């Protein structure tokens, strides 16, 4: 084996180790960028709209999604280059985080819809109550 080939193999091994470290770092950053479970569960607000706005804010996963994207990008390159000895653990971690982020994004969307719906619902219920009260007043006046 020539000196050049040995050097290339060593460089490839170093690059593969660095690539794996980059993937793992992005996965760690993604995990740390996820919402805190207590922030999602606990609420400190005076009304439903305040709770929903707080929840919607706590369900922001853009940072985590970007880190997963970067991890996946480097993983795909390393996998295609057959640079990883055991890529299964990285692939599983990426898939797990993608599923979790999708779940949080779905919840964010649902909370956003509720945040938009609740003021409309309150207005409609107020109008209905006022209409019912007005009808009751008219009936009382007719009875007198």
Structure tokens at 78: 């390393």
Q: Quote the pLDDT of residue 5.
A: 57
Burial of 58 from C-beta contacts in 10 A (0-12 / 13-18 / 19+): buried
3-class secondary structure, 34: coil
50's CB contacts (< 8 A; 6+ apart) are 43
pLDDT digits (tens, 9 = 90+) for 44-88: 899 999 999 999 999 999 999 999 999 999 999 999 989 888 899
Q: Quote the pLDDT of residue 91.
A: 96
For the chain, the domain total comes to 1
Percent of the chain scoring above 90 in pLDDT: 72
Contact 84, 16 (CB under 8 A): yes
Contact 98, 69 (CB under 8 A): no
pLDDT digits (tens, 9 = 90+) for 107-131: 999 999 999 999 999 999 999 999 9
Domain residues for the domain of 81 are 3-143
Q: What is the DSSP string of 71-120?
A: HHHHHHHHHHTT--S--HHHHHHHHHHHHHHHHHHHHHHHHHHHHHHHHH
């Amino acid at each position: 084996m020539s000196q050049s080939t040995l050097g290339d193999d060593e460089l490839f091994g170093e690059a593969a180790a660095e690539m794996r470290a980059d993937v793992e770092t992005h996965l760690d950053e993604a995990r740390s960028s996820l919402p805190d479970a207590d922030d999602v569960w606990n609420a400190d607000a005076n009304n439903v709209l305040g709770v929903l706005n707080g929840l919607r804010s706590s369900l922001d996963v853009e940072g985590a999604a970007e880190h997963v994207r970067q991890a996946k990008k480097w993983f795909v390159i390393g996998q295609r280059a057959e640079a990883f000895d055991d890529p299964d653990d990285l692939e599983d971690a990426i898939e797990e985080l993608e599923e979790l982020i999708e779940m949080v994004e779905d919840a964010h969307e649902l909370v956003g819809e509720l945040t938009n719906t609740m003021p409309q619902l309150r207005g409609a219920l107020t109008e209905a109550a006022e209409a019912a009260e007005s009808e009751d007043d008219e009936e009382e006046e007719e009875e007198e």
